[in-house]
Structure 1
């Protein structure tokens, strides 16, 4: 067996392969987005069953193959099970991982995007912060991490909306979800973020279509 490597990451998606296996897409701090096979993960009692769930965050023990990795074990820090118990939160989380999947590539470290996903999931579980605000903060920060942003909004906006824009772009991920906006300011901020998405992103997100249908 090849030497195992331990990599910190989050499962973005999981797909069944055959009767017992799963193919995982994992966003990792050290190696960016990778594909890994979890052999026997669908068998009852398999130690790989729980770590092969979407949103699982922790340290994965992997062996590198020719075209993909093989998962041999994991120490999961957070399964984010509470997200799955709330349909709206689960839809937001699914959109966030699809958004991250759009940007990330194999072989390019993804420390900041991984932290952004983790902190955004935590924010979804905090009732004090509206999910719609979490969404727009996440989108803008993800785009800015990939250099797809302007330092000021691309449309006319009030002082508070401009400040929120600049705060999201220039603040560390750990301090993003520390503010609220009035409905009026949020609407300005939302339109600015939406404009930025239309400017830089040329695809539709299936999970966003589902999210828009339920909120």
Structure 2
């Protein structure tokens, strides 16, 4: 009897392998970051064609082999198709995917981080909140989820509104995180702090930052 597992997650990246296959990295709620083969998925008529692209979010039925997974079926709930027409949003979204890839590990359940990623990607497609604010919220709350958030920095002169925003970001329910706006001055302070924390807690270069910096500088 074949050994199947069902997981819920999002495709972080994929790469071609062989003549017609993809190998996908999927961030799952149940098993963390896993690698799975999508056989013949590069053929336009294949059952899995278009279902293992980055940002595809849904349920994946996997055959668990001795040393790897193979995708048998995929039920995609959200393709985040809006990023196809929104280069800036896609660059931010790709950064979020890469940051999640940095944090998550195989067989490490991380439902909170996956939920944060999902809400953050949806927020990037809204016009009423700046992408830079979405990024700050995502990065700070990810630090909280991963147990690395150091708190509001001591010894820095910060606006009261900045301190309040950081408290709101780090404690509010995920579905309330993207419900506010900030002045440019407060967002600037929040941005600076977020980047300081990134430089402290991320110990490797992030490729997606090169493209993202085009929109932020």
TM bucket, shorter chain:
over 0.9
Q: Tell me which residue corresponds to 1:159.
A: 160
> Partner residue of 1:108?
108
Contact conserved, 1:32 with 1:108, CA < 8 A, in 2?
yes
Once the two structures are overlaid, the 10-residue window that deviates more, 143-152 or 117-126, is 143-152
**How far apart, CA to CA, are the structure 1 residues paired with 2:84 and 2:138?**
19
Q: Distance in 2 between matches of 1:66 and 1:210?
A: 38
**Equivalent pair of 1:153/1:165 in contact (CA under 8 Å):** no
Structure 2 partner of 1:213: 214
Aligned-residue offset at 1:196:
1.4
Consecutive unaligned residues of structure 1, counting only runs of 5 or more, are none
3-state DSSP class of the match of 1:26? strand
Structure 2 distance, partners of 1:84, 1:25, is 20
C-alpha contact (below 8 Å) 1:96/1:117 kept by paired residues: yes
Distance 2:66 2:91 in 1: 34
Matches within 5 A, 1:7-46: 7-46=7-46
Moved runs in structure 1, 4+ residues, more than 3 A? none
TM-score, with normalisation over the residues of structure 1?
A: 0.96
1:174 aligns with 2:175: yes
1:1-215 → structure 2 map (5 Å cutoff): 2-154=2-154, 155-215=156-216
Deviations 1:122-173 (A, max 9, x none): 1001000000111111111111111111222353311110111111111222
Which 10-residue stretch deviates more, 48-57 or 167-176? 167-176
Question: Structure 2 stretches of 5 or more lacking a match?
Answer: none
Q: CA deviation at 1:3?
A: 2.4
Q: Is the 8 A contact 1:25 1:35 kept in 2?
A: yes
TM-score normalised over the length of structure 2: 0.95
